[in-house]
Amino acid sequence: MKIRDARREDAAEACAVIRRSILELCILDHRNDPGILQRWLANKTPECVAAWMCQPDHPVLVVVEAGAIVAVGAVRDSGEITLNYVSPDGRFRGFSRALLAELESRARQFGAETCVLNSTETARRFYRSSGYIEHGPPRPGFRADVAYPMIKRLIPADETSSKRRKGA
Expressed in angstroms, the distance from the first to the final Cα of the chain is: 25
Which band of pLDDT confidence, cut at 50, 70 and 90, is reported for residue 157? low
Which pTM value belongs to this model?
A: 0.88
Torsion of CA 69, 75, 80, 83, to 10 degrees: -20
pLDDT tens profile 88-113 = 998 889 999 999 999 999 999 999 99
Fold of the CATH domain 2-166: Aminopeptidase (3.40.630)
pLDDT tier for residue 56 given thresholds of 50, 70 and 90:
confident
Angle at CA of residue 122, ends 117 and 126, nearest 5°: 65
Beta strand pairing status for 81-86 and 114-119? Answer: unpaired
Average of per-residue pLDDT values in the chain: 91
Tell me the C-alpha to C-alpha distance, in Å, between residue 160 and each of 38, 95, 132, 143, 156.
Answer: 41, 21, 18, 35, 6
pLDDT at 92 (0 to 100)? 85
Span 130-149, average pLDDT? 83
Residue scoring higher pLDDT (164 or 59) = 59
pLDDT surpassing 60 at residue 161: no
Q: Would you state the pLDDT for residue 80?
A: 97
What's the rounded Cα separation, in Å, for the pair 109 and 113?
10
pLDDT > 70? residue 131 = yes
Q: Per-residue pLDDT tens for 39-55?
A: 999 999 999 999 999 99
Contacts of 85 (CB under 8 A, 6+ apart): 17, 18, 21, 22, 71, 72, 73
